[in-house]
Structure 1
Amino acid sequence: MATSQVASDGLNPKGALVGGLGFAALALILVAVSIWFVSLIHGDYGEALESRDPIFLEKTGYTLFYFAPLVFTGLLIFGLACMAVGIRGKPYPKAISDRLNRTVGSLVLVGLLGMFAGSWVANKMWAEVFRSHGYNECPGSFTITSKWFSTVWVDQPDLCHDENVLTMFREGEQVSTINRFVLEQHP
């Protein structure tokens, strides 16, 4: 006779507990990473604005992480619910299960919508902040940097067309190196 932890109703408590632990741990890691990305964005932009760098890159894709913790919180609740089922050894009553599904589903849906709509709003907000500090957006940032979801901002519009600067970007130079070159050429 094989030993199995599967209950008579097909529930595997050990599997639910381990799966729930995995989902909860993954969710906590993802929440921490998304909060770190948001703080990284704010720190990088604040530092560039404070130091008055002639050129800096806006990483427009990072703003997706503004609402990502909502999605990951849904994943965390799902993981915790699975863990509870594993510990209890029996599923939740239908009313509680339905309420959990609605809560998790709502968090994920609002989080996903927020990630895309919020990213658009955040990128518009940051663009306004950069303009108010005297920066100009270079047209064709992808052709300048060969990077998706990056926008080049400059304090002098002619830098967008400066052949030396464009060559340095094409050669993969770091923005800090390009800034040093610009500052040496235009003190």
Structure 2
Amino acid sequence: MAVRLVRGRAHRKDERADSELMSALCSGDEEAFSEIIRRFQGPVYSLLIRMLGNEDEAEELLQVTFCRVHRYRDHYDPSRPLVTWIFTIASNLAKKEWRRRSRWIQVPIDNVTLTSSIQTAPHYEAGRRELKASLEEAIAMLPPHYREPFLLREDQQLTYEEIAEVLNVRIGTVKSRINRARAMLRTALSDAWERWR
């Protein structure tokens, strides 16, 4: 069976399009809802865990997200990507949780993967772990309005247009916030990088 990758997700040729799934769900097809959950629960959970830094809260908001997808299925606009609609719901729930907490978020180190050509020799391991911890701490310390678009771009691989739609801001705002987040991370990680090298 042929598989193609789209924004980090594997799709089989015989899978129904997102708009078809939502149309089926609106017609009462609960199997379509199960397919939507199967298709999107991983990316949504990943986004929520990175935004909230707490597995229990992420799991709870994951359930709430899909309950809202089901409840508000008639509000879905089939001319727009389903992924952005679902991420908008999840993102809004996470923002509400941030406001409720109104404190800085610590993101677990276990959820970070470094995608670089770091050498894997044993003497590099300690430095790599330190760099990974520094990266995670720096991401957690980003203000939410910088962290959120950064994670949507880097973790979920959304386009600038999709991020703008999820966050309900202009594309220019998305680009500047992501660039600012990257600059803040570069500054925060410069000392750790020099120690590791």
- The TM-score with structure 1 as length reference comes to 0.29
- The TM-score with structure 2 as length reference comes to 0.28
